[in-house]
């Protein structure tokens, strides 16, 4: 099995600051996403799974339609595996209703007229995101104990909650710690593990916005130094080939 923990907006500088070693693994660094004009979630994960820059194709759909963008498995590297499990990934297996509701609440927050109304919306927004996070984590933990040869879990809470709470250091550290603990569980299973973010997050006052680089780490040998997000397709397929050789 090969495992990918896909963490939206995992910020390199915070991983360093908190020194979460299970997120860092044996090799880690920043990804180069400078080829993209905008660090958009749908664009970056779609480019990851195909190994091709999908920005022009997706941005041409416009903000409303892009979230319904979905790539057929035959056009992704997932098709190279016999029994892959890909959980909640934008552009592939995204929970459209859940993430649509989160975006609606985010919009409502910034349109709210009073601080009281904003706080009420933020509470619902955070709670909804955390509940979804727990659901995805449970599904992911079940999958890595199954018969799959590839498992990817996409975790959006750091991004979703970070947009309104990036200045809340206690809350953000709690989210990072939760992902570090999940990474520790996966690493004890002995599988090749890639931890990857699409982009990081920078402070805009107490809020958070996408930064111009992502985060990556692996628990195996690689010559990658400052990879593009499109480079990981070949990395994963190379690891798959090496594992296949071990069983022949």
pLDDT at 244 over 80: no
In this structure, are residues 244 and 80 in contact, taking their beta carbons and an 8 Å threshold? no
* pLDDT for the residue numbered 106: 87
pLDDT at 224 over 90: no
pLDDT at 100 over 90: no
Q: What is the mean pLDDT of residues 190-213?
A: 90
User: Which residues have C-beta within 8 Å of that of residue 151, sequence separation ≥ 6?
Assistant: 1, 2, 3, 4, 84, 85, 86, 87, 140, 143, 144
* pLDDT for the residue numbered 165: 86
Q: How confident is the model at residue 246 (pLDDT cuts 50, 70, 90)?
A: low
User: Which pLDDT tens digit goes with each residue over 114-131?
Assistant: 999 999 998 999 999 999
Q: How confident is the model at residue 248 (pLDDT cuts 50, 70, 90)?
A: very low
Calpha distance 72→67 (Å, rounded): 15
Q: What percent of the chain has pLDDT over 70?
A: 98
Domain boundaries, the chain: 2-98+133-246
* pLDDT for the residue numbered 182: 97
Q: How confident is the model at residue 215 (pLDDT cuts 50, 70, 90)?
A: very high
What's the CATH superfamily of 2-98+133-246? Alkaline Phosphatase, subunit A (3.40.720.10)
Q: How confident is the model at residue 245 (pLDDT cuts 50, 70, 90)?
A: low
* pLDDT for the residue numbered 99: 84
**Which position has the token pair 């923990």?**
5
- Return mean pLDDT, the chain: 92
């Amino acid at each position: 099995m090969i495992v990918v923990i896909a963490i939206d907006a995992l910020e390199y500088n915070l991983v360093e600051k908190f020194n979460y070693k299970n997120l860092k693994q044996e090799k880690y660094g920043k990804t180069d996403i400078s080829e993209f004009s905008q660090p958009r979630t749908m664009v970056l994960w779609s480019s990851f799974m195909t190994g091709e820059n999908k920005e022009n194709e997706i941005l041409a759909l416009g903000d409303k339609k892009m979230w319904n963008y979905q790539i057929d498995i035959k056009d992704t590297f997932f098709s190279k595996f016999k029994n892959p499990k890909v959980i909640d990934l934008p552009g592939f297996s995204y929970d459209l209703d859940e993430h649509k509701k989160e975006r609606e609440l985010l919009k409502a927050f910034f349109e709210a007229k009073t601080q009281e109304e904003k706080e009420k919306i933020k509470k619902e927004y955070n709670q909804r995101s955390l509940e979804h996070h727990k659901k995805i984590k449970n599904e992911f933990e079940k999958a890595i104990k199954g018969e799959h040869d590839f498992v990817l879990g996409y975790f959006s809470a750091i991004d979703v909650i970070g947009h309104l709470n990036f200045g809340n250091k206690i809350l953000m550290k709690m989210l990072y710690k939760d992902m570090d603990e999940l990474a520790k569980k996966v690493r004890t299973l002995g599988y090749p593990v890639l931890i990857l973010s699409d982009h990081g997050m920078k402070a805009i006052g107490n809020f958070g916005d996408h930064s111009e680089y992502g985060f990556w780490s692996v628990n195996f040998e690689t010559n990658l130094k400052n990879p593009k997000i499109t480079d990981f397709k070949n990395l994963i397929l190379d690891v798959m080939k090496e594992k296949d050789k071990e069983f022949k």
